[in-house]
Structure 1
Amino acid sequence: MVLTSQSGAAALANCPSGCNCNDDTLVVVCEESRLDVLPIALNPSIQRLIIRNNKIKTIDSSMQFYADLQHLDLSQNDLVNIPAKSFSYQRKLQELHLNHNKISSVTNTTFQGLNSLTVLNLKRNFLGELTNGVFTTLPRLEELNLGQNRISRIEARAFSGLSALRILYLDDNQLSSVPTTSFSLLGSLAELHVGLNAFSFLPDDAFAGLNRLTVLDLNGAGLFNISDFAFRGLPGLRSLNLFGNRLSVVPTHQLSSLTRLEELYIGQNDFLALEGHSFKGLKNLKLLDITGATQLERVEKGAFEDNVNLESVLLVNNKRLSIIEDNTLLGLPKLRHVSLRDNAIITLSESVFVGKELRQLDLTDNPMFCDCQLLWLQVLLNDKSNFTQVQCTSPEHLKDKYLKNLSADDLGCVLHDTRQQTIICIVVVACVATIATLVLILYRYRKSMQEKLKDYKWNKGRKNLEYHKPISTEEDCIVRGIHPSQYPVPPPHTPGLRPIPVTEL
């Protein structure tokens, strides 16, 4: 027990000023400790060494004393270069963070010895190119971050040996075209982030060989145009980010082959409208995010007709978007989240969507004109407590008032009770239907009815005529072909009885 106490005291005594050394967890943390060299007298058994935001300029031989390291963080220092074989003793190291330094180059000997490394972070340095085989000594590497450098050239076999790589960041560099040949070596890659470069154009088969890719980030890649078959060979792509490019139309045909796509981010582009079938073929799309499209003016009926699995639609911060046509969001049985925040929407028809199925609806920061056309929305807002408030912009007497708190009278509605309106509509429709049916029947059987009516009138007239005509003269009998000998003999006159005239029935 005494020996243990002395050992712990010795370890604490060797802990540099401003650092936190824990011999129980084998973790040393030195943040903003003003260190300019790596400490040499730490516990050689430490497993996590974090020396972040200091003044270290190079990695020296002191690293050889820490062979049990599993996590090394030297980010936010002043490292300019890394001598060859600096990590040759770190056979157990799994994560190496060298981000936010001033490293201008790495070679195929820089990371020699790091056979167990799974994460390498070189983000925000001064790297200008990647030469062939630079990462061949990292057979287990799964994540490589080269974002925010100055990389303008990647040789064809720069990524050779990275058979286990699953995540690659090359965003915010100076690439003028997609390094397709280099990518073709990364058969296990699942995520690729290459936004904020200067591609301008995606050719056919731009990502050939990446048949396991599920996430592709082209945010701010400078794209004006996308070839018809640019995304060919990406059968499993689930998420695509085209945010912040210069596309003048939605690339409907180019996207249609991505049948398993679930998330699409396509805001901050230059298209004017979402036309019918804009996202044709994307039958598994669940999330559509169109934020900050400064030219977008309208969303047309049928724009999402092919996307029956949509769950969330975000149309946010589109300063010219004022028209969302009727039935635009109908026929989407799984739709639960709709955000129309910060657009130029003045009014919204009840037939745009079935609001009662939604869990979230955001209409804030729109210049809403509150009149009777929004009575349906006022009722909906009162039914759904989790919907955002809608504040009126006009007319003047309702400015800044919340739609939820207004009455039908406030909105200028003649019929206050929506149930009364519904009953009246049903009665009117029923009457119109009945009249239309009668007219149709009369029109269809008009000839038959005319014939029957004509026959009825003729027969009635004939019977009346025959009933009232008496046979009273010999001439009438002769005309009728009756011989005088056949005249009916009148009965003897009986006193008190009036003679009954004989008529032919």
Structure 2
Amino acid sequence: MATVFVLLCLGTVFGLSSSAVLTCSGNCNCNLTTRTVNNCSGVTDFPEIFPNASLIKTLNIVGNNLTVLTTRLQIFDRLENLIITDSGVEKVENNTFQGMDNLQQIILRENLFEFVRPGTFVDLPSLETLELDHNNISVLDAHAVWNMTSLVAIDLSYNKISVIYSDSFGLLPNVANLDLGHNRLETVPKRILRNFPKLYRLHLSGNRIITVNEFDFTYCVSLKSLFLSGNQISVISDKAFIVNQTGGIQALKINHIFLEDNKLTEFPPLNDLNRLLGLFLSGNNIDSITSDAMIGFPGLKDFRMSYNLALTDIQPGAFRMLKSLQTIYLNGNIGLKSLPGELFKNQKYLHTLLLGNCSLTTFPESLGSWESLNVLSLDNNPLHCDCALKWLSKSHGWKMTSHMMCASPPELKQKSVSELTDDILPCVDHTDVSNRITNGVIFAIVSVVLIAIIALILRFRRTMVLRWRYYRYARQTDDVPFTVDNEYSDYPVGDRKLRMSDLERDT
């Protein structure tokens, strides 16, 4: 036959029982104990007849020139693991794997597939893993992957897929991991997701998705991790992660969302995802974190929002509801010049805080609670080294990078923050000074009030004395109408008045 298949040596290999590892001709490594043939090269086709082919469980062919996979592969009827990588495979014929009921793993990565035709991967009851990544697949025909109850992982990443038909996949009740990353999808393939009722991880990173629409993930009732990084997403509907189930509408029970390197300009509406543990938003254009942006997922542990070049504002209380945070990445936000007071105050579990490559000038101790902190980075910030930073020079048991340098004042420029001792930067106890100022202000106010009272008494002392005398005189009369007036006042005829001079004569 024109083509040569180097695995013919196995007829001899499996006829022996005294040696566990044997040397195969034709650049193959054969292991009798595990019934594997690894790292074969020079393979261009499979023979029609192969001695003891049914003994082989693992076949690993790397770096060959196999243009087409045909039904000749069925001679390995007990094969469990088929690995053909970087071997120039352009086509898999229909029914190639028919009857290979023991197959658990098919790995055909780094080949030259362009199409996955109908009936290519169907009716394989033991298949658990199907990896077709790093090919040239642009089209998945109807019933391309169908009726495999043991299948748990499908990898179609790094292809050229732009369209997936709604019936390309079907009867796959246990698939937990679907990787469609780094293709050419422009929308979330909502229609196919109904075929994966137990989908746990969905990879859509590296596509061309612009908008995440409402109910795009409504069929993903079991989804825990969603990868949407590296797209062109600028809009996310506030109903994108809503599941419409019998009994009402509810949010996904998702744990991790990856949205790095998109085009978001606003914080995404995720407030209903109360099971969220990790949120990754680095590399977007979000300009602000509002005070109520993260109130809907109080159990969040990992928050990463690095290198948002537009970020200039974090509002007070933005993290107030996140009392389980362990990791915060805010590094690379060059527009971030200040942080609101007590921003990290409630973070008693926070162990990693990265704020390097921002534009911060200070980082006072009052920003947070630091009992659990292990790693703090303030690298490459224009820090103004005054007494507010001196607390960082104390030993806290943290891992702090050596690039925390002073940018000002001039006499401390390029000085490490960790070297801010009393000799270099003597500091006044601002608490004591503040208390003294407060006490002084209170004393001054009390003094002014007392002086004003005394001045009023001195100014009106004669009138007050006369009023007191008049009060005593009036008590001695029998309800006589009276008024107090000075002696120059005019009195109406018939009124009985009492002059001030009368009171003065009584004395």
* Same structural fold, with TM-score higher than 0.5 when normalized by the shorter chain: yes
Residue deviations 1:104-126 (CA, integer Å, cap 9, x gap): 11233212452210110111212
1:36 match: 44
Residues 1:25 and 2:25 aligned together: no
Going from structure 1 to structure 2, the CA distance change for 1:43 and 1:391 (only over 3 Å counts) comes to same
* Deviation, structure 1 residue 344: 2.6
1:352 match: 367
Question: In the alignment, is the contact (CA less than 8 A) between 2:348 and 2:371 conserved in 1?
Answer: no
Residues 1:389 and 2:406 aligned together: no
Residue deviations 1:345-394 (CA, integer Å, cap 9, x gap): 23223222223431221222333333333112222xx2224333343152
| Corresponding letter in the other structure for 1:36 | T
> How many corresponding residue pairs?
442
Q: Give the distance between the partners of 2:364 and 2:19, measured in 1 at CA.
A: 76
* Deviation, structure 1 residue 402: 2.1
Classify the secondary structure of the residue corresponding to 1:323: coil
Question: In the alignment, is the contact (CA less than 8 A) between 1:390 and 1:404 conserved in 2?
Answer: no
1:106 match: 116
1:334 match: 349
Going from structure 1 to structure 2, the CA distance change for 1:209 and 1:6 (only over 3 Å counts) comes to closer
2:209 match: 199
* Deviation, structure 1 residue 441: 11
Compare 199-208 and 125-134 and name the one that shifted more. Answer: 125-134
TM-score scaled by structure 2?
A: 0.78
2:254 match: 237
Question: In the alignment, is the contact (CA less than 8 A) between 2:193 and 2:220 conserved in 1?
Answer: yes
| Corresponding letter in the other structure for 1:21 | C
1:80 match: 90
Going from structure 1 to structure 2, the CA distance change for 1:42 and 1:125 (only over 3 Å counts) comes to farther
* Deviation, structure 1 residue 272: 1.5
Compare 394-403 and 237-246 and name the one that shifted more. Answer: 394-403
1:468 match: none
| Corresponding letter in the other structure for 2:419 | N
Residue deviations 1:303-337 (CA, integer Å, cap 9, x gap): 21222222211112223332222221112233222
Residues 1:301 and 2:316 aligned together: yes
Question: In the alignment, is the contact (CA less than 8 A) between 2:200 and 2:222 conserved in 1?
Answer: yes
1:15 match: 24
Question: In the alignment, is the contact (CA less than 8 A) between 2:117 and 2:142 conserved in 1?
Answer: no
2:267 equivalent among 243, 250, 266: 250
2:489 match: none
Counterparts of residues 411-422 of structure 1 (less than 5 Å): 411=425, 413-415=426-428, 422=431
Q: Give the distance between the partners of 1:361 and 1:142, measured in 2 at CA.
A: 40
Counterparts of residues 163-312 of structure 1 (less than 5 Å): 163-233=173-243, 234-251=251-268, 254-312=269-327
Going from structure 1 to structure 2, the CA distance change for 1:440 and 1:82 (only over 3 Å counts) comes to farther
Going from structure 1 to structure 2, the CA distance change for 1:361 and 1:11 (only over 3 Å counts) comes to closer
* Deviation, structure 1 residue 43: 6.2
Residues 1:403 and 2:417 aligned together: yes
RMSD: 3.4
Q: Give the distance between the partners of 1:94 and 1:177, measured in 2 at CA.
A: 32
Going from structure 1 to structure 2, the CA distance change for 1:436 and 1:68 (only over 3 Å counts) comes to farther
Gap runs ≥5 in structure 2: 1-11, 244-250, 470-507
More helix by share: 1
| Corresponding letter in the other structure for 2:104 | Q
| Corresponding letter in the other structure for 1:285 | L
More strand by share: 2
2:376 match: 361
Counterparts of residues 99-178 of structure 1 (less than 5 Å): 99-178=109-188
Question: In the alignment, is the contact (CA less than 8 A) between 2:338 and 2:360 conserved in 1?
Answer: yes
Compare 104-113 and 39-48 and name the one that shifted more. Answer: 39-48
1:475 match: none
Q: Give the distance between the partners of 1:85 and 1:293, measured in 2 at CA.
A: 50
Give aligned-pair identity as a percent: 25
Residue deviations 1:117-168 (CA, integer Å, cap 9, x gap): 0110111212222233221132221111111111111112222211111111
Q: Give the distance between the partners of 2:58 and 2:448, measured in 1 at CA.
A: 88
Going from structure 1 to structure 2, the CA distance change for 1:421 and 1:398 (only over 3 Å counts) comes to closer
Classify the secondary structure of the residue corresponding to 1:288: strand
Compare 332-341 and 383-392 and name the one that shifted more. Answer: 383-392
1:481 match: none
| Corresponding letter in the other structure for 1:241 | F
Going from structure 1 to structure 2, the CA distance change for 1:162 and 1:349 (only over 3 Å counts) comes to same
**Larger Rg: 1 or 2?**
1
* Deviation, structure 1 residue 13: 6.9
Gap runs ≥5 in structure 1: 463-505
Residue deviations 1:160-215 (CA, integer Å, cap 9, x gap): 21111111111111222222122123211111111222221122111111111111
Residue deviations 1:219-238 (CA, integer Å, cap 9, x gap): 12211211221111142111
Q: Give the distance between the partners of 1:38 and 1:73, measured in 2 at CA.
A: 14
Question: In the alignment, is the contact (CA less than 8 A) between 1:369 and 1:392 conserved in 2?
Answer: no
1:50 match: 60
Question: In the alignment, is the contact (CA less than 8 A) between 2:264 and 2:285 conserved in 1?
Answer: yes
Question: In the alignment, is the contact (CA less than 8 A) between 1:53 and 1:76 conserved in 2?
Answer: yes
TM-score scaled by structure 1?
A: 0.78
Classify the secondary structure of the residue corresponding to 1:377: helix
Classify the secondary structure of the residue corresponding to 2:226: strand
| Corresponding letter in the other structure for 2:44 | D
Classify the secondary structure of the residue corresponding to 2:329: strand
Going from structure 1 to structure 2, the CA distance change for 1:410 and 1:29 (only over 3 Å counts) comes to same
